[in-house]
A and B are shown apart, each in its own frame.
Chain A
Amino acid sequence: MANYDNDDLADYDVSDEEFNEDNLNDEDYDKLYRMLPSLKSSLSSYNNEIPESELKETFPSNPKSGSSGSSKLVALAQLRPLHPNTNASPGAVQTASSRSLSSLSKLMLARKNGSQMSSSFPASIPSGVGVGVRLGLEPGSKSADILLKLRSKKATGTPQNDGISTKPKLVLGKGVSLGKFTLKKPQVKPVLTHESDIESLTEKCTKSSSVSVLSPPELTRIQSPWNEIKTKIHLDGSKLLLTTNSIIPIAPLISRKRKSLSQMERESQLKRHFSQLLYPLTNLEINVETIAKAKTNFSRPSPDDKILQAQNDVFNKDMKNLKISKPVEAAATAAAGTKDKHPPKPTKPFKKIDLVSELSSNKKLTKPHKSFVVIGHIDAGKSTLMGRLLFDLGVVDAKTVNKLVREAEKSGKGSFALAWIMDQTSEERSRGVTVDICATSFDTTTTRFTAIDAPGHKDFVPQMISGVSQADLALLVIDSINGEFEAGFFMDGQTKEHTLLARSLGIEKICVVVNKMDKENWSQDRFEEIKTQLLDFLTGSEVGFSSEQVDFVPISGLTGVNVVKNDHAVKAFDWYQGPTLVNYLESVGLTSVAIDKDTISKLSEEDFNLAINDIFEVSSSEFGVTGKVSRGLIQTGETVMVSPTKDYLQIQKMLIDNEPVDVAISGEIATMHFKLNQLANKSIDELVVGDLISKVDSPISSVKKFTCDVDLFNMSKPLLVGTPFVLFRNNRQVPARISEIIEIKGSKKKKKHLVSKQQALVVIEVNDDRLLPITKYSDNKVLGRIVIRREGSTIGAGLVTEI
C-alpha cells in the first residue's frame, strides 16, 4: 500500500471525501463496529486479506459514499426509526450496505481506493507524456471485489435469520368471536419464526412500525351497528391490524339484496381508474383539438356539469383539471385526427439524379461502409481502444491528444486520456465512466467505418442498446487481467448481458477483443484460456452464435499494440500471427456492404426506414436527426413521415460522415435537417429517440399492442401477465407489460406467468401515452425485434409476428 504515486494521490479526490470513522456520529460508529465482525466473517471465505479500513469504507453511512452525501446521512438518521438489535445479523449487514450505495457509487468508491502504478507511456504517443496505468490486482481492486461480492450477495442472497426469535406479531385477539363483530384490543403474541425470509422481513417491518408512530395510542369510540356495544379500538400504530384484519374477522353475513354493478363492471372501472391514476401530465403542449377530442370522451356529464366544465376549461388551462377517461386513446386519436386526414403529397428530390450512376460513381458511397459498436464490461478499455484507433489512424491529431493528456492528468485521471476522446461530457470525465454512446466515423484505404463507443456500466445498458442498434458488427472488449475477465464474465458483469443483447438485436458478427494483454505479459495461455471459455459461451445454447460469426483478436488498447499496427517489437507476443484489429475490421465479411446495380434497384423498390437516434437543434429555424437507415434509400428534398407523431417533414439537407449528400441508402448512418415549423408543436421535444422515419406513401404503423414470439432467458422470478418491464425495439425504449399469454411452447396449460427459458407467443401492451412504431419481423429484420429488461436485467428477446 506504500507505493502510491502522484497519479494516485491526484486520483484520490481529496476535499472532504476521505473516510474517517471519527467523523461518524455515535450511532453510526456503534453500528459500524457491530457490523464489522460479521462482515469480516462473511467475507473471509472469499478473501481474508482485506484490510479492515477497506471494510469500514464500505459502511453505508460513510459520508464518502458517492451519491449519498452527509445530508442524506442526516436524513436517514432522522427518519429511520431507531430499532436496536436488528442490525446485528449478517443479513442486516448486507441489507444495510446495499441500502444507499448504488452499485455505481460502489464502483466509484472502489476506484478511489484503487492504487495505481505508473507505467512508461507507450512509445507511439508523444514523449514527455505520462499516463498512469491502473493495475487490476492491486489492493484497491480488492475493495471492488468486496463490493462485487456484496452486490452478488444482494442479487441471490436472502436476509439471513438468526435462528429463533420472538416476534411481536399483531393479530386479532382470540376474543374475536364469529358470532359478534367485536374488535378487541390487539394482543402482542410471540410467534416462533422459521426459515423464511418473509418472516424476517416482516419482523423488521413490525418492529419498525411499532416504533414509528410517535403519538400515544388513541382510543376511538365508534358505535357498532350489530350489538350496540361501544367497541374500543386500540391503536398501537398497528395499521397492519386495522387495514388488513378489519376485513378479515368474520361475522355472520346476512344476505341482503343490492341492485348493483356486476363485479366485472367494477373491475373494469377500477382498471380505468388505475390508468387514470397514472395518466401523466406532460409538459408537452396539447393543442385545441386534443382537448376537444378529450372532452367528447367525458362520461355523461349532467347539463350543469357541462357548464361548469366549460367554465373550468376557459379559466383553468391546467391539465390536471381535465378529465380524460381514456387518456391514451384520446390523445392518440386526437393526434391522428389532426394530422392524419390529409397526408401531403410526396415531394420530389431537389436534384434529379441517376441513382445508378450516382451510387456507382460517388467515391464516398462506393467504398464499402461498416458500422461497429464497442461493447463489454465496465472498464474493459472500450473508450481507450476507440481513442487509440482514432489517434493511430490520424483522425485525432497529436495536439488534441496532448491536450487531453494534460487535462486528464490535472484532474488525476491520466490513464483515461485516450478515453476522453470519446468521453466528452463533464459527468463522464469527472467520474471516469462512459455514460452514453458516442458515434464517430473514419476511413481507411479500403473501408469507411462508423464506430460507436458504448458504456459498460449496468445502469447504462439502455444507451448501449441504442448503440448496438446502429451497428452491423460488435467488438466485445475483454479485460484479460487475471480476475477482471472473470468478474466481468461470471459475476453479474456485463460481458454476458451485452453479448446476449448483441445477439438478440441481430448483430451479424462479433469480434472478441482480448484487451490489456500488456498486463498479462502477452501470454498465449491466457489468451487461449479466455478464448475457450468465451467461444463455449458464445456458441452455446444460451447465446447461439455460430462459430463462423465469432473471431478473437488480442490487443492492448492503451499501448496500441495490434490495434492499427503490430511491429512485432514485443517478443512475448511473437506467437500471434493473425491480423491487427483494423486489418480484421477491413476484411471481415458482412452481408450489407457491396453496392452494385442489383442492390441499387432492390433498394429503390424497398420501403425506406430510419430509426432516429439523436435529435438536436441546428439553428433557430432548423433541427436535425441522425439515425441508421435500415431499409431502402432516400434523397434530399423528399418528404418523410415521422411515426408515431405523424409529422410530415421535407428533408432540407442530408449529411453522411459530416459531408452533404443527395442520397442515403440502407446501412448508412445519415443526418437529416428539417424545418422546425413543420413540426406540429414547433418543438423538438415532440420527438424522441426511436421514432421512425418513412416515406409518405409507405407509413409505419404505431401500436399500443402487438403479438410476438418471446424467448426468455434466466430469470430470478417469473414474468407475470401484467409485470411492468422496459421494452426495447431497436433503439426505442418504452414501459410495457404482457397483456396475454396466447401459447407456451411445449405446454397445453393456460398460464398467466412465464418462467426461465420458456418460449411463448404473447401479446405485449405498451404502457405509455405515446404509441410505439414497430414493424413485423418478416417486414424488417431490424425493427421487428424486441428485447425485454426488468429491474436492470435483460430477461428475454422476441420477434414481432403481428401488429
Chain B
Amino acid sequence: MKLIRQHFEKDKSGSTTLIPQDKEDLWELYNLIQKGDEITLSTHRNIKKATLGSGVAQGKDKGKTERKLLTLKMSVEDIEYTPSEEVLRIRGKTVEPNEYVPMQSYHTAEVQLQKQFTLYKDEWDEIAYGIVVKVCSIEEKAEVGAIVMEEGVAHLCLITDNMTVLRNKIEKSIPRKRRGDGGGSKHDQAMEKFYQLVNTTMLRNFDLDKLKAIILASPGFVAANLLKHVLAEAVKNNDKTVMQNKSKFIVVHSSTGYLQGLEESLKDPSIQRQLSTTKFAKEASVFETFQKVLNEDDDRAWYGPTECARAVEMGAVKYLMIADALFRSDDIGVRKHYIALADAVKNNGGETLVFLSLHESGEQLNQLTGIAVLLNYPVPDLDEEDD
C-alpha cells in the first residue's frame, strides 16, 4: 500500500489517502473500512446525455448514455471483498453533491488496485491506525505459487502472507490400468495429457519471474513427474522463462491432492523457511501444539470465550490465540474486551497470536469459537458452569 497523505484532528477524526498495490492490501482495507466511514474514490458511471427529468417512459437502453469518470464521496453502507477478483466493492450513499450524481443516491463503486482513494473516519482508533501502519510498512511481499495434485486432480494456488487463493482446479479422468499386453498404456497416455494440461494452465496463470517459489506437492510420484514434464517441455519449446526459473520449483510430499494437502506441505520446515514471513509458521506451529495438548486432555488447552477469559484472569496463559474476526468486530465493546485480554496476557508474560482467517489455521480457530488458550500449567474445569 502506498500512503499518499494523512490528516488527523485533535479528536482523532481525520483522513488517509492510500493506493492499494495488491490483493492483500485489499484484504487489509476490507478490515479497515467500516460502515459509517466516508470514502472518496473515482468510478465510471453511465450518464444520460439529456439529463432532463423525463427518463421514465423510455426503454431501458434507448436513452443515450455516456461513460464518465466521476469522483464520488460516499458514506459506506456495505463492503464486499472477493479475493479471486481483486476488487473491493463499496456500497454507499453520496454525501457530497456532484454535477451528475444527486446527493444521497446509492452507488456501488470499487476500490481498485493502483487507484487512489481517501478514507475519512470519525475516529481513527488504534486498530484502524495499526492497520494503516502495518500495510504501509511491509516492504516486499513475496508470493509463492503452489500446485497440489494427485492423479487426475490438480489445484493451482497462490500463497501470500495473508491468504491462499485457489486460481484453478484441473480435473481429468484417468482410466485405470488393465492386465494384459499394453494394459498400462491408456493410463500412461492420459497421465501425459494431464501433466500437459497442468503445465499449460500453470504457465498461463503463474508469473514465474515474479513468484518466489513454486511448490509442487503430491502423494507418490505425481509432483516429481510434473516437474520432469515441465522441464522437458521448456527444453522442447525453448522456453526461457521456465529455464531461468527452474530452481524455484520445489517438490514436496503431501498425503492428498486436495487443498488440505497444501496446508500439510506448508508445515514442512523447508517450505516454511521460504515463505516470506515467519508469522504464519509460528501460528501454525503453536496451533499444532495446542491440538496435541488438547488431545492429551490434561487441562492445559482450552477454547471458548468464557473459558479463555477465566484462564487469562488466573494469569495461566502462555499463548492466547485470537481469530482476527474478533478484533474486526464492529462492536467497540467486543474489540475492547479482546484487546484487554491480550494486554493482560502480555502483562503476565504470555503471548498473543492473531490468526488470519484467510489461512487454514485461522479458519480452524474461527470454528473453535475464535479464541483459544494454551496454558502454562493445567487448570481443570474451566468450562464448569458458574452458580
Contact between B352 and A615, CB atoms less than 8 A apart: no
Judge whether B310 is part of the interface by a CB distance below 8 angstroms: no
State A81–B220 Cα separation when bound (angstroms): 28
B residues in contact with A276, CB < 8 Å: 82-84
Contact between B188 and A726, CB atoms less than 8 A apart: no
Contacts A240-B279, A247-B354, A718-B294; A256 near B179 (Cβ below 8 A): no
Partner of B139, one of A67, A212, A235, A390: A235
Judge whether B213 is part of the interface by a CB distance below 8 angstroms: yes
CB interface residues, B 264-278, toward A, < 8 Å: 264, 268-270, 272-274, 276-278
Contacts A242-B134, A615-B173, A755-B294; A720 near B367 (Cβ below 8 A): yes
State A206–B288 Cα separation when bound (angstroms): 18
Contacts A205-B281, A226-B12; A250 near B339 (Cβ below 8 A): yes
Judge whether A201 is part of the interface by a CB distance below 8 angstroms: yes
Judge whether A48 is part of the interface by a CB distance below 8 angstroms: no
Judge whether A527 is part of the interface by a CB distance below 8 angstroms: no
Contact between A181 and B126, CB atoms less than 8 A apart: yes
Q: Which residue of the partner chain B has the closest CB to A281?
A: B168
B residues in contact with A224, CB < 8 Å: 8, 129
Tally of contact residues, A, Cβ under 8 A = 145
Judge whether A792 is part of the interface by a CB distance below 8 angstroms: yes
Partner of B34, one of A247, A260, A300, A717: A260
The proximity string for B residues 2-26 relative to A, scoring 1 for CB distances below 8 Å and 0 otherwise, is 0100111100101000000000000
Contact between B133 and A233, CB atoms less than 8 A apart: yes
Separation in Å of the A354 CB from the closest CB of chain B?
A: 34
Most buried by B among A235, A718, A752: A718
Partner of B6, one of A72, A223, A307, A460: A223
Judge whether A685 is part of the interface by a CB distance below 8 angstroms: yes
Contacts A302-B108, A722-B368; A614 near B360 (Cβ below 8 A): no
Contact between A256 and B332, CB atoms less than 8 A apart: yes
Contacts A258-B35, A459-B220; A270 near B177 (Cβ below 8 A): no
Separation in Å of the B225 CB from the closest CB of chain A?
A: 8
Judge whether A35 is part of the interface by a CB distance below 8 angstroms: no
Judge whether B379 is part of the interface by a CB distance below 8 angstroms: no
Contacts A79-B213, A431-B221; A752 near B184 (Cβ below 8 A): no
A residues in contact with B173, CB < 8 Å: 615, 684-685, 687-688
The proximity string for A residues 191-212 relative to B, scoring 1 for CB distances below 8 Å and 0 otherwise, is 0000011100110111011001
The number of A-B residue pairs with CB atoms under 8 Å apart is 389
The proximity string for A residues 675-711 relative to B, scoring 1 for CB distances below 8 Å and 0 otherwise, is 0000000001101100000000000000000000000
Judge whether A426 is part of the interface by a CB distance below 8 angstroms: yes
Contact between A424 and B279, CB atoms less than 8 A apart: no
Tally of contact residues, B, Cβ under 8 A = 146
Contacts A66-B224, A247-B354, A282-B171; A424 near B177 (Cβ below 8 A): yes
Judge whether B340 is part of the interface by a CB distance below 8 angstroms: yes
Partner of A239, one of B161, B164, B167, B212: B161
CB interface residues, A 362-393, toward B, < 8 Å: 390
B residues in contact with A125, CB < 8 Å: none
CB interface residues, A 47-91, toward B, < 8 Å: 66-69, 71-72, 74-76, 78-81
Contact between B91 and A300, CB atoms less than 8 A apart: yes
Contact between B336 and A67, CB atoms less than 8 A apart: no
A residues in contact with B383, CB < 8 Å: 749
Contacts A722-B368, A749-B383; A80 near B274 (Cβ below 8 A): yes
Separation in Å of the A436 CB from the closest CB of chain B?
A: 6
Contact between A248 and B273, CB atoms less than 8 A apart: no
Contact between A266 and B288, CB atoms less than 8 A apart: no
Contact between A260 and B175, CB atoms less than 8 A apart: no
Judge whether B137 is part of the interface by a CB distance below 8 angstroms: yes
Contact between B269 and A204, CB atoms less than 8 A apart: yes
Contacts A248-B343, A302-B106, A424-B177; A254 near B270 (Cβ below 8 A): no
B residues in contact with A213, CB < 8 Å: 139-140
Contact between A284 and B282, CB atoms less than 8 A apart: no
Contact between B282 and A202, CB atoms less than 8 A apart: yes
Judge whether A100 is part of the interface by a CB distance below 8 angstroms: yes
Contact between B176 and A438, CB atoms less than 8 A apart: yes
State A222–B107 Cα separation when bound (angstroms): 32
State A104–B264 Cα separation when bound (angstroms): 16
Partner of B8, one of A75, A76, A225, A721: A225
- 17 A–B contacts, CB within 8 A, in A order: A67-B221, A75-B248, A242-B133, A246-B130, A250-B343, A253-B125, A258-B34, A260-B35, A262-B331, A270-B325, A278-B166, A283-B171, A302-B106, A424-B177, A684-B173, A735-B258, A789-B255
Q: Which residues of A contact B (CB under 8 A)?
A: 66-69, 71-72, 74-76, 78-81, 95-96, 99-100, 102-104, 178, 181, 183, 196-198, 201-202, 204-206, 208-209, 212-213, 215, 218, 220, 222-226, 228, 233, 235, 239-240, 242-244, 246-251, 253-256, 258-263, 266-267, 269-271, 273-274, 276-284, 299-302, 304-305, 307-308, 320-321, 323, 390, 400, 421-422, 424-428, 431, 435-440, 457-460, 462, 613-617, 684-685, 687-688, 715-718, 720-726, 735, 749, 752-753, 755-756, 789-792
